Amino acid sequence: MKIFLGGKLVDEADAKVSVFDHGLLYGDGVFEGIRAYHGKVFLLEAHVKRLYESAKAIALEIPMSQQEMADAVRETCRANDLSEGYIRLVVTRGVGTLGLNPYLCKKPEIFIIAAKIQLYPQELYETGMKVVTVGTVRNHPEAINPRIKSLNYLNNVMAKIEAINSGVLECIMLNGQGQVAEASGDNIFVVKDGVLRTPPVWCGALDGLTRRAVMEIAEDAGYTVKEDVLQRYDLFTADEMFLTGTAAEVIAVTEVDRRTIGEGTPGKVTLDLQARFKEYVKENGVPIIDA
């Protein structure tokens, strides 16, 4: 495997960062998870734009243009002969001291990985998944804003630990007011009386690009879509529920905290949006290889 690191492609065995990198020492950096479908990088421009916005929010200046970053993503995919898969784009603060001062880090580190991913077993896309609500509260927006896709994912990891310890693969995270925020790595949608509802980002959710795409797809298909504050009651009483994410795509939830959602199987709206999303990704992306 070839990794883009330090401005060039290197062998995986040679892809190394310093133990003094603030990304490692303090989770000081930002990242994007991106998908490639059918020889195209899905929503590449939007992912790169969000990366730079996350970096700006933490006062991290990326030493290459957005176009250069997009080109590097495509170059890494070509080097690994990747037409279908997952891309991890990471920018760290770079090498610094053992102290917190980020301004002592002189040069950000950039690396790109292009490989395969299977977040959930295929059978769950057919049967739906079970989730639980966890006690780990989503970060307060004025502590670490969830809209910043930072390397500091301990909040999410703690929630994932609770989920796995409860015998499930995903969970529901609430904000400090007890409102539904998001899953540990995915956005949340419910369907009630034909209307799609998803928590607004100010409730503690990442402004997911797959979330945005699904909202657009749903509206184009004639569904009513609302950003709305949700409580657990709204999950328990939903007709359908599903999660969205770059790696997860669109996956049904059929049980929350041992409450069956709908009929206990993926609902027709969820299945419709899954099918529409598969078609959507075929048409929306930047070719990895120039025509």
Active site residue 106: no
Taking Cα atoms as reference points, which of 215, 207, 211, 163 lies closest to residue 184? 163
DSSP strands (E only) in the chain: 2-5, 8-11, 29-37, 40-41, 85-92, 109-115, 129-133, 170-174, 180-183, 187-192, 195-198, 224-227, 240-245, 249-256, 259-260, 286-287
The encoded tokens of residue 238 equal 């939903």
d(Cα 110, Cα 30) in Å, to the nearest integer? Answer: 10
Helix axes 66-79, 44-57, angle to 10 degrees: 130
Six token digits for residue 120: 């959930």
Among residues 149, 160, 278, 282, the one annotated as catalytic is: 149
**3-class DSSP state of 60:** coil
Q: In which residue are the tokens 């037409």 written?
A: 83
Residue type (1 letter), 120? Y
Name 283's Cβ contacts closer than 8 Å, sequence gap at least 6: none
In whole angstroms, give the CA distance from residue 110 to residue 206.
22
The SS3 assignment for 42 reads coil
What residues act catalytically?
149
